[in-house]
Amino acid sequence: MTEFLYMKDAEACYIKDFEGTVTKAGDDWVILDRTAFYPEGGGQPSDTGRLIWEGGSTRVISVSKKGGVRHYLEGAAPVKGTEVHGIIDWERRYGHMRAHTSQHIISAVVWDRWQAKTVGNQLYKAKARIDFHPLKLTQEDVEWIEEECNRRISQNIEVQIYELSREEAEEKAGVERCNMELLPKSIRKLRIVQVGDEICPCAGTHVRNTSEIGTLKIIKKESKGKMRTRITYELV
């Protein structure tokens, strides 16, 4: 099992480099005992970066949870037992952190007014697209969402990350709003991300304060089938 160094709390999301040991190696991938690299999941792309070790170094081109937490490498992999220094491409990751935190805010804004759930999301560097259901929006609604998101962002809200038991999380977050029924029943402890009063289980990386998000600008609204609406926005 790989230890995820970014999981612990909001501060841990800012770990940009770390030391780890190769526990398993393929031709072009390694598994480490610990990592600060985010593996693709939950709509957040994987980190990229570099691994450096005595006598070698190579780029990390992607990280996947399939078959263990595999760091896929551009060059040849270091052998099992090698101690490595990992460095994350920070600009890219920080863009994902801003996008992920803003996603919590827009999901809460849409839920609070229309009780529409977030049913899909893809995050990019300081950009995101999110699907809501059931939801149909006018241009006026879109403008209102943008304004309300920016109003909440500008309140400089602290983002908190901590663990709760499943029962506590269900009570506080609301099973329906956060799609908690989709989480396997075997998971008893959940990592909670709290932005203001809104709490949601989430395994992604986030900024510590909404002041780091920037201004949310909705660039597209599309209908994706009956009562399903997709919103695409950038952070500027």
The C-alpha atoms of residue 184 and residue 131 are separated, in whole angstroms, by: 22
178 belongs to the binding site for Zn ion (CB under 5 A): no
169 belongs to the binding site for Zn ion (CB under 5 A): no
Q: Toward Zn ion, which CB reaches closer, 30 or 161?
A: 161
Stretch that binds Zn ion, among 98-106, 108-116, 155-163, 223-231 (CB under 5 A): 98-106
190 belongs to the binding site for Zn ion (CB under 5 A): no
Q: Toward Zn ion, which CB reaches closer, 137 or 207?
A: 207
Q: Toward Zn ion, which CB reaches closer, 27 or 181?
A: 181
95 belongs to the binding site for Zn ion (CB under 5 A): no
The closest of 85, 81, 78, 99 to 27, measured between CA atoms, is: 78
The C-alpha atoms of residue 231 and residue 115 are separated, in whole angstroms, by: 16
For residue 95, report the phi and psi dihedrals to the nearest 5 degrees: -60, -40
The C-alpha atoms of residue 235 and residue 146 are separated, in whole angstroms, by: 11
Stretch that binds Zn ion, among 10-18, 63-71, 196-204, 225-233 (CB under 5 A): 196-204
Instruction: Give 163: exposed, middle or buried? Use CB within 10 Å, 0-12, 13-18, 19+.
Output: middle
Binding mask 23-42 for Zn ion (x = CB under 5 A): --------------------
The C-alpha atoms of residue 21 and residue 83 are separated, in whole angstroms, by: 4
* Least gap, CB of 144 to Zn ion (angstroms): 23
Q: Toward Zn ion, which CB reaches closer, 39 or 204?
A: 204
Of the candidate residues 204, 210, 216, 231, the single one contacting Zn ion (CB under 5 A): 204
Of the candidate residues 202, 213, 216, 235, the single one contacting Zn ion (CB under 5 A): 202
Q: Toward Zn ion, which CB reaches closer, 86 or 204?
A: 204
For every residue of 135-178, DSSP letters joined together read ----HHHHHHHHHHHHHHHTT-PBEEEEEEEHHHHHHHH-TTTT
* Least gap, CB of 202 to Zn ion (angstroms): 3
Is the Cβ–Cβ distance between 39 and 68 less than 8 Å? no
Q: At 98, which helix (H) or strand (E)? A: helix 90-114
**Residues that bind Zn ion in the complex, under the rule CB under 5 A:** 100, 193, 202, 204
